[in-house]
Amino acid sequence: MLWLVNTSLKQVHIDDVALSDLRQLAIGAFAPLKGFMEEADYDSVCDHMRLRDGSPWPIPVTLPTSSDIAATLHLDERIALIGPDGRMHGTLTVTSIYKPDLEREAHRVYRTNDLRHPGVKRLLQRGDVYLGGPVELLVPDDDPLFAPYLFTPEQTRAEFARRGWKTVVGFQTRNPVHRAHEYIQKCALETVDGLYLNPLVGPTKQDDIPAPVRLKAYLAILEHYYPRDKVFFGVYKAAMRYAGPREAVMHALVRRNFGCTHFIVGRDHAGVGDYYGPYDAQHIFSEFAPGELGITPVFFENAFYCKACSGMATSKTCPHGDDQRIILSGTRVRQMLSEGIAPPPEFSRPEVVKVLMAYYAQRT
């Protein structure tokens, strides 16, 4: 059976982030990458947000290991990649072994070396040597919960074509969809043929709402508030980097690979804490030539419910002050839910609130 360890190959154990990257590399979600980055691509991406051939790519996709393990490996050697579950999930043909400057990578990619940043913390804990080379996936993702919603780029492109969609806007989130998300998705949907709602359900930080709970919330809001013939739902089982601006570009490129022509970038996309300005993730797209990314970013300001307007709006369309605007931070919403207090319907649909309150109730 494919999942059994092939003892003829040297084994390298990989974490859940590397496993998720392996899967995305194998299905083509990270195209043009075909494997974990070699040193030349890694250096170019860190410094210039481009692969060595000039192709745009903003974040290193690397396979960390320890110095001791790296010392046992040789170039052109094929090794077994062993996942956290002990199974052999794939192989790597080693074409590069190198020691990265992790402090430099943190500063370039995350714009900080602060260990309180979850992306930086993870980066500095994973390993001090990188292995690069093409990969082969041996075990497809067999998670029964997400299996019905896992698609390859080849499958999504075929589905969009079957539906006759020539223009498709992609939306990324790691949180339950609230009214502001819904508003900007539907605004974008007014201008294209279809919406690809593609939430990230891979490894995230510990205090994020678990992916199975979020899946229930996504399905609940889709059932009641979205036109079924205009929306396609699939999950993106990749790791969250929390890299703000650079990750916004990466998310756009991935959705390009899935067949989207447009990609929504809202306030503080892929951000965490106050490490990035609220619209830095939009400004970064100006560093690429028009059309270079192969997908059109669609920018939105922060959306909210205005009591005076009696509807959703942004500062572009609403003349009223903060006293009329219902804006809740993620921290405040989690606090309300943990205290058994339902966020108002102006912030989140009741079907979504019901799912979240049930989760928080069982935690206490």
Q: Are residues 151 and 264 in the same domain?
A: yes
Q: Give the pLDDT of residue 5.
A: 59
pLDDT score of 6 more than 70: no
pTM score of the predicted model? 0.95
Select from 346, 345, 341 the least CA-distant residue to 325. Answer: 346
The catalytic residue among 23, 108, 126, 174 is 174
In a domain, 1, yes or no: no
Of 63-77, 289-303, 329-343, where does mean pLDDT reach its minimum? 329-343
Residue type present at position 146: F
Q: What is the pLDDT of residue 1?
A: 43
Per the annotation, the verdict on 174 as an active-site residue is yes
The answer to the question of residue 298 being in a domain is yes
Residue-wise pLDDT tens digits, 178-237: 999 999 999 999 999 999 999 999 999 888 889 999 999 999 999 999 999 999 999 999
pLDDT (tens digit per residue) in 135-171:
999 998 989 999 999 999 999 999 999 999 999 999 9
Q: Residue 7: its pLDDT value, please?
A: 63
Q: Do 229 and 288 share a domain, yes or no? A: yes
How does pLDDT run across 248-280, given as a tens digit for each residue? 999 999 999 999 999 999 999 999 999 999 999
Separation CA 339–CA 334 (nearest Å)? 9
Residue type, 364: T
The answer to whether the CB of 81 falls within 8 A of the CB of 92 is yes
Q: In terms of domains, do 46 and 72 share one?
A: yes
Residues 46 and 127 in one domain: yes
Rounded distance between C-alpha atoms, residue 62 and residue 41, angstroms: 10
Q: Above pLDDT 70, what percent of the chain?
A: 98
Q: What confidence tier does 44 reach under pLDDT thresholds 50, 70, 90?
A: very high
Instruction: List the catalytic residue out of 50, 175, 302, 334.
Output: 175
Tell me the CA end-to-end span of the chain in Å, nearest whole number: 42
Look at residue 298 and tell me whether its pLDDT is greater than 50.
yes
Same domain, 120 and 159: no
For residues 110 and 159, state if they share a domain: no
What is the domain extent for residue 170?
A: 147-363
Contact 175, 201 (CB under 8 A): no
Please report whether residue 132 resides in a domain. Answer: yes
- What burial class does residue 140 get, using C-beta atoms within 10 Å of its C-beta: 0-12 exposed, 13-18 middle, 19+ buried? middle
In this prediction, residues 11-16 reach a mean pLDDT of 97
Q: Report d(CA 246, CA 282) in Å as an integer.
A: 10
Nearest-angstrom CA–CA distance, 105 and 213? 33
Mark which of 90, 117, 137 sits at the end of a domain. Answer: 137
How many domains is the chain partitioned into structurally? 2
